[in-house]
Amino acid sequence: MKKINIGLLGFGTVGQGVAKIIHEKGEQIKASTGCELEIKKVLVRNMDKERAVKLPKELFTTDAHLIPNDPQIDLVIEVTGDVELSYELMQIAFKNKKHVVTANKAVVSAYFEELSELAAENGVYFLYEASVGGGIPVLKPLKDIIKLNEVSRVRGILNGTCNYILTKMTAFGADYGEVLKEAQELGYAEADPSSDVEGTDTQRKLRILASLAFGAKVTEEDILCLGIDKLSAFDIEAMKERGKVVKLVGDAKEVEGGYEAIVQPVAVSAGSYFSSVNQAFNSVAVSSDMVGEVKFYGAGAGMLPTANAVLTDCLDVATEEQIIANPLRDRGMVCKTQELKGVFYVRTEEKTAALAALEGEAVASSPYAMITKPVALKELLELLSSDPAASIIRMEGEDY
């Protein structure tokens, strides 16, 4: 029986989920893969904190450098949420020929090229299925798709907190602030929700998806990012009257001479696929030349779904499924996000002459709301820059 010794960096929700599944499913794992996973060391900040999942206290350490340097460790699971320290620890682990599996989208997004290259150089695995779409198997199928396909678009509902808030706003006609408060009480949103509601979390996930899908270096800076924190009950209702449902979508697509990538509230038709993705669920859609469009749906977060994705990666390491190779390419695609055009719903305090000139369909006069003619988003954002409370929603057609 092949045995994999694991060092766990972090013992929060996902780390505890990993320990719980290894404990409860150890026999099933042995039977289905012929491998045994054992947690040998766990990096924590506080040795004495009470945790829902118990491990023997001698496994814990507060010495961050112990695990990536420990010769008995084969595989490092990084689930800290931290960026700079975890980047350092992952580099050490790779240089010591340890495989790394992570759920940490922030560090993958920040150092995707560097980490992918270092892992391949050292002949070890670097897997991060849980960093996008939580429990949904999407990066492994995507890596299969890019072997044979040119991907022309990847888009998705990638943040459960935002989708939960938008679902409640749509169902109850409630305002953003109210629903956010309720979501925080229920644990669906963090005390500081900014990285979720401002779109940063979606931006990181889109950066990972688009870089893999296009074989291009699509960085966070290449992705225009608008959140859901400006949306009001009024906006959602105005869309509902037009048969539309609002979703925060990360969307990267190939265009003439390059690609456009944006995170933005999007109005999709009621009854469409994306309109059916509700609550904290996520979905990712990948369009490519041979296989057409495939979509993946499931729990985008949560202890067990995310830990399941982490452990599925660990079993790929154990059984050597997936090839050890840097999946990133650089086809030299040019970022054309600044040229992105569309039809937008806009709500703002004041109707300026410049805005009025863009009006395709009037929605309301107070607050002033309208749906534009086709316009460059950059131009629209400039016109709205004087109103910090203005909201913008991209209008999509039936086929979105």
The dihedrals phi and psi of 11, each to the nearest 5 degrees, come to: -140, 45
Residue 107 or 277 having the CB closest to a copy of itself = 277
Distances from the Cα of 376 to the Cα of 260, 340, 370, 373, angstroms: 12, 6, 16, 10
Element (H, E) at 179: helix 176-186
**Closest distance of CB 153 from a copy of itself, Å:** 14
**Closest distance of CB 43 from a copy of itself, Å:** 24
Among 147, 191, 397, 399, which residue interacts with a copy of itself (rule: CB under 8 A)? 147
- Quick check: 46 binds a copy of itself (CB under 8 A)? no
Q: Is 345 exposed, middle or buried (0-12, 13-18, 19+ CB in 10 A)?
A: buried
- Quick check: 136 binds a copy of itself (CB under 8 A)? yes
**Closest distance of CB 309 from a copy of itself, Å:** 8
- Quick check: 137 binds a copy of itself (CB under 8 A)? yes
**Angle between helices 176-186 and 160-172 in degrees, nearest 10:** 130
**Among 350, 349, 369, residue whose Cα is nearest residue 359:** 369
Judge whether 240 counts as a catalytic residue. Answer: no
Residue 33 or 219 having the CB closest to a copy of itself = 33
How, if at all, do strands 60-61 and 359-364 pair?
unpaired
d(CA 163, CA 161): 5
Among 13, 104, 116, 149, which residue interacts with a copy of itself (rule: CB under 8 A)? 149
- Quick check: 315 binds a copy of itself (CB under 8 A)? yes
Residue 87 or 296 having the CB closest to a copy of itself = 296
Cβ neighbours around 62 below 10 Å, total: 10
Among 1, 47, 52, 323, which residue interacts with a copy of itself (rule: CB under 8 A)? 323
Residue 140 or 351 having the CB closest to a copy of itself = 140
Structure-token pair, residue 186: 């229920």
Q: Are 346 and 384 in contact (CB under 8 A)?
A: yes
The dihedrals phi and psi of 356, each to the nearest 5 degrees, come to: -55, -35
Among 7, 10, 135, 250, which residue interacts with a copy of itself (rule: CB under 8 A)? 135
Among 6, 93, 124, 277, which residue interacts with a copy of itself (rule: CB under 8 A)? 277
Please name the residues in contact with 199: beta carbons below 8 A apart, sequence gap of 6 or more: 159, 162, 225, 226, 227, 228, 248, 263, 264
Please name the residues in contact with 55: beta carbons below 8 A apart, sequence gap of 6 or more: 11, 19, 39, 42
Residue 29 or 384 having the CB closest to a copy of itself = 29
Residue 18 or 223 having the CB closest to a copy of itself = 18
- Quick check: 296 binds a copy of itself (CB under 8 A)? yes
**7-15, 77-85, 118-126, 137-145 -> range binding a copy of itself (CB under 8 A):** 137-145
| Contacting a copy of itself within 5-24 (CB under 8 A) | 21
Residue 144 or 361 having the CB closest to a copy of itself = 144
Catalytic option among 41, 105, 168, 205? 205
As separate numbers, helices (DSSP H) first and strands (DSSP E) second, the chain gives 14, 19
- Quick check: 2 binds a copy of itself (CB under 8 A)? no
- Quick check: 375 binds a copy of itself (CB under 8 A)? no
First to last CA, the chain: 48
| Strand ranges across the sheet with 60-61 | 60-61, 35-43, 2-9, 75-78, 99-102, 126-127
Q: Which residues are catalytic?
A: 205
Q: Which positions touch a copy of itself (CB under 8 A)?
A: 21, 25, 28-29, 32-34, 135-137, 140-141, 144-149, 270-273, 275-277, 289-299, 302, 304-305, 307-309, 311-312, 315, 319-323, 325
